[in-house]
Amino acid sequence: MEQSFVLKGNICYSKTKDQLEIVPDGYVICEKGVCKGVFEFLPEPYANYKVIDYKNQLIIPGLIDLHIHAPQYSYRALGMDLELLDWLEKNTFPEESKFIDLDYAKKSYSFFLKDLIKGATTRASVFATLHRPATELLMDMFESSGLKAFVGKVNMDRNCPNFLTEENAETASVTTMLWIENTMHKYKNVFPILTPRFIPTCSDELMRKLSAIQKSYHLPLQSHLSENLSEIEFVKKLCPNSKYYGDAYDQFGLFGGDYPTIMAHCVHSDEEEIELLKNRGVFVAHCPSSNTNISSGIAPVRTYLDKGIPVGLGSDIAGGFSTSIFRAMSDAIQVSKLRWRLIDDSLKPLSMEEAFYLGTKGGGAFFGKVGSFEEGYEFDAVILDDSNLPSPLEFSVKERLERLIYLSDERNIKGKYVGGIAINLDFTLI
């Protein structure tokens, strides 16, 4: 049950991408899982609420991972010298095929979730595998953890190895509907999300069936878009009648509009595709670590922000090697500088404020009113202790937050709340 309480400490949260609010030694109020605001002094109506005093520690909204592959956790940091399509063939497909074995799936997903629980992530949009039982197991495990997530059973029926492909579009759609029926109303914290892996692995017939499923069940969708140059050329050959990559989704009605949609990467989206992203309200999951590791490039995030396209951050395990969204923030800042310096000096680099916004309120918007301490937002919070980062300098709260973006790890996470409920950071699943 959600609690009503007050947290006291150095509070940091975003109102807009440019406006970082900081209230030193302030109070943030949770009432039945919903934030009632941040105050310098505790208002009288809440005087009887329990106050948890975190003293000099920082209190921030929970971090949001808009793009992560749970089954890939086991081989993170391997194959970082490969490009996307070769990397999938060598690492991803052989590993994901193992998830037909539920014992293996449980072991792998336990390691993955232990990492997420100990970190600053409170919500995530997650790819599983094409295996229905293992996907439902992952959803069960997420529910037990207390974290909130969208989890997708992956669909793929072409251009895949024989050991990891669905028999045909009909079988894939029937299995997907069974999975949805089994999970749609089962959980409090976990929800299904339609997940065509990407255009190269999904036949036209499968995409038509997924479109019908989306309209029947009113589900959100996640996939990949314009990540890698060789991938984009492959899509052109597979879909000669599509004007560009995004159009290959849009022709089936699977590109935003009536249904919330995440497209990961969008590194090489052209002007037409960018306009479609904007017009359909598609969320871009920016994955800077993955985009450098597997040689994809640097997404024009400044363009997306300036055009009002919703953007969040993704760790993209295992293209990215860390589940830390703090790491994604710092990487986003760094690669934006490289794009500005080396590619397009009209796109100024991201600021710290903007990167923090992307990892909290920006990505949180996919979940609703999530990712801020403004009144009416769901109460997700992370407690940060930077006492293990000594310096002879005296830092402001903002400077301490900036240092944590670059220097923090699980040792700095001292508490976490999701929807007003405290998470046990030592929770184990096996």
C-alpha 180/C-alpha 243 separation (Å) is 32
Check whether residue 114 and residue 261 sit in a common domain: yes
428 within domain boundaries: no
Taking CA atoms, 288 is separated from 197, 294, 323, 332, 389, in Å, by: 19, 10, 12, 5, 25
CA end-to-end distance (rounded Å), the chain: 25
260's tokens: 């919330």
pLDDT of residue 320: 96
Q: What's the angle, vertex CA 255, arms to CA 233 and CA 277, rounded to 5? A: 80
Q: If the chain, 430 residues long, is cut into consecutive pieces of 10 residues, what is the mean pLDDT of each piece? A: 88 97 98 98 96 98 98 95 92 96 98 97 98 98 97 97 96 98 98 98 98 98 97 96 97 97 98 98 98 96 98 97 98 98 96 98 98 98 98 98 97 98 87
Residue 429 lies in a domain: no
Q: Are 385 and 128 in contact (CB under 8 A)?
A: no
SS (H, E, C) the chain: CCCCEEEEEEEEEECCCCCEEEEEEEEEEEECCEEEEEECCCCHHHCCCEEEEEEEEEEEECEEEEEEEHHHHHHCCCCCCCCHHHHHHHHHHHHHHHHHCHHHHHHHHHHHHHHHHHCCEEEEEEECCCCHHHHHHHHHHHHHHCCEEEEECEECCCCCCCCCCCCCHHHHHHHHHHHHHHHCCCCCCEEECEEECCHHHCCHHHHHHHHHHHHHHCCCEEEEECCCHHHHHHHHHHCCCCCCHHHHHHCCCCCCCCCCEEEEECCCCCHHHHHHHHHHCCEEEECHHHHHHCCCCCCCHHHHHHCCCCEEECCCECCECCCCHHHHHHHHHHHHHHHHHHCCCCCCCCCHHHHHHHHHHHHHHHHCCCCCCCCCCECCEEEECCCCCCCCCCCCHHHHHHHHHHHCCHHHEEEEEECCEECCCCCCCC
**CATH code, domain with 192:** 3.20.20.140
| pLDDT at residue number 430 | 61
Residues 40 and 178 in one domain: no
Does the predicted TM-score (pTM) go above 0.95?
A: yes
Structure confidence at residue 2 (pLDDT): 60
57 with 67, same domain: the answer is no
Same domain, 175 and 298: yes
Q: What is the per-residue burial (b if ≥16 Cβ within 10 Å, else e) of 366-387?
A: bbeebbbbbeebbbbbbbbbbe
C-alpha separations of 303 from 222, 310, 349 in Å: 21, 11, 11
**Does 244 share its domain with 336?**
yes
Comparing C-alpha atoms, which of 78, 129, 79 is closest to residue 101?
129
pLDDT of residue 426: 92
Contact between 213 and 254 under an 8 Å Cβ cutoff? The reply is no
Amino acid residing at 46: Y
231 & 297 share domain:
yes
Into how many domains does the chain fold?
2
Same domain as 407, residue 315: no
Query: How many residues can be counted in the chain?
Result: 430
Residue 418 located in a structural domain: yes
Range of the domain at 385: 5-61+372-422
Residue 229 shares a structural domain with residue 196: yes
Q: What is d(CA 239, CA 204) in angstroms, rounded to the nearest whole number?
A: 9
Is the residue at 427 inside a domain? Answer: no
Residue 228 inside a domain? The answer is yes
- Answer whether 155's CB lies under 8 Å from 129's CB: no
Name the nearest CA neighbour of 179 among 207, 122, 138: 138
Residue 19 and residue 116 share a domain: no
Do 266 and 335 sit in the same domain of this protein? yes
CATH number at residue 28: 2.30.40.10
Is 293 within the bounds of a domain? yes
Whether residues 363 and 253 fall in one domain: yes
CB-based burial of residue 242 (10 Å sphere; 0-12 exposed, 13-18 middle, 19+ buried)?
A: middle
Cα 420 off chain centre by: 20
The last residue of a domain, from among 367, 386, 405: 367
Are both 187 and 201 inside the same structural domain?
yes
Helices 169-183 and 204-217, axial angle in degrees (round to 10): 20
